[in-house]
């Protein structure tokens, strides 16, 4: 029988695979839609999917902390718009790498806010996993731009969202938690679209106030629908993962979406990974094994 940790690891692996596919789709859609539109359509369709699931099988947990539920949704929206924006402005590998700073923030937030034990072995595993990210992304010559800084902030807000899941997992059904994410992620973009024609934002924030354009191509709508479907599924797996295991363990396992992304990138025409990339994959796997076999004291 699978242990609680094993289930969390498997849920995160599934989420990472689907997340990598989602990143590739977002990159493809970025030539037709703004980052905020991608977020809006992806979440709007997700709302209907989750509502249908809740109607089919009503939640059993009673809830009770709406402010934390909204906080999870808000943090998730900020993380998503920053992630999709970096995808549209810098190479996919760099954007995903910057987003992968989230497990480091998760481990720190879990330690300071939730009191989770952070052993030396776990810290070492986190460093090994992050070193693997460095080998894969090869950022040594990468210029640090405004977009890269936003990418790191995206990682932080993703970590904050994941940590919030841990606080509400015992009072809210996982589907309700996902609904808070896609719901807030639909309402806030809609509000920004309404406000956009009436203000002149600073250049640094223009990506938050684009002109809303309804897609006219059936192909684009099908891609949006598919992305919404798999993104919602990925969020459900992610929520189950962070509800089933220690945050630092699941954080390192989430690094696996980078090798998944490399695979999708290759299918889309990217160059085959070199020796440094394969070394990075090995380090990420090693970090995941080290931290997942570490016993919480």
Q: What is the pLDDT of residues 93-123, one digit of tens each?
A: 777 777 777 766 777 777 777 677 777 777 7
* Inside any domain, residue 45: yes
Q: What is the mean pLDDT of residues 150-164?
A: 86
> Please, are residues 30 and 75 in contact by the beta-carbon 8 Å criterion?
no
Whether residue 220 lies inside any domain: the answer is yes
Question: Average pLDDT, whole number, for the chain?
Answer: 80
Coil, strand or helix: which one is 113?
helix
Kindly tell me if the per-residue pLDDT of 77 is higher than 90.
yes
Domain that holds residue 45: 4-292
Whole-angstrom CA distances from 13 to 42, 74, 94, 259 are 21, 24, 20, 11
pTM of the model: 0.77
What pLDDT is recorded for position 193?
95
Answer for the pair 214, 283: CB distance below 8 angstroms, yes or no: no
Token pair of 231 as six digits: 């993104």
233-280 pLDDT, tens per residue?
A: 887 887 788 777 666 667 667 777 777 877 777 777 766 666 776 777
Reported as a single tens digit per residue, the pLDDT across 192-222 is: 999 999 999 888 889 999 989 888 889 999 9
Considering the domain boundaries, does residue 297 fall inside one? no
Task: Report the number of distinct structural domains present in the chain.
Answer: 1
Q: What's the N-to-C CA distance of the chain in angstroms?
A: 23
DSSP 8-state secondary structure symbol assigned to residue 46 = H
């Amino acid at each position: 029988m699978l242990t609680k940790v094993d289930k969390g690891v498997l849920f995160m692996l599934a989420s990472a695979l689907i997340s990598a596919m989602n990143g590739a789709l977002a990159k493809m859609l970025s030539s037709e839609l703004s980052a905020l539109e991608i977020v809006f359509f992806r979440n709007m369709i997700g709302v209907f999917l989750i509502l249908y699931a809740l109607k089919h099988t009503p939640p059993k947990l009673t809830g009770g902390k709406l402010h934390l539920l909204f906080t999870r949704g808000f943090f998730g929206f900020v993380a998503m718009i920053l992630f999709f924006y970096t995808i549209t402005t810098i190479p996919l590998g760099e954007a995903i790498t910057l987003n992968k700073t989230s497990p480091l923030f998760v481990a720190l937030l879990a330690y300071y806010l939730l009191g989770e034990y952070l052993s030396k072995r776990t810290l070492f595993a986190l460093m090994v996993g992050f070193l693997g990210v460095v080998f894969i992304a090869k950022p040594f010559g990468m210029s640090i731009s405004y977009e890269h800084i936003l990418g790191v902030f995206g990682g932080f807000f993703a970590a904050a969202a994941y940590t919030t899941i841990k606080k509400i997992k015992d009072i809210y059904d996982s589907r309700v938690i996902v609904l808070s994410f896609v719901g807030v992620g639909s309402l806030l973009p809609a509000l920004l679209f309404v406000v956009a024609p009436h203000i002149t934002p600073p250049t640094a924030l223009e990506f938050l106030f684009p002109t809303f354009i309804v897609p006219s191509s059936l192909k684009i709508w099908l891609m949006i629908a598919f992305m919404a479907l798999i993104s919602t599924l990925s969020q459900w797996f992610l929520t189950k993962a962070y509800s089933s295991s220690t945050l630092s363990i699941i954080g390192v396992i989430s690094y696996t979406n980078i090798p998944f992304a490399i695979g999708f990138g290759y299918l889309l025409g990217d160059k085959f990974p070199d020796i440094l990339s394969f070394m990075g994959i090995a380090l990420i796997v090693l970090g995941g094994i080290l931290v997942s076999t570490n016993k919480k004291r």
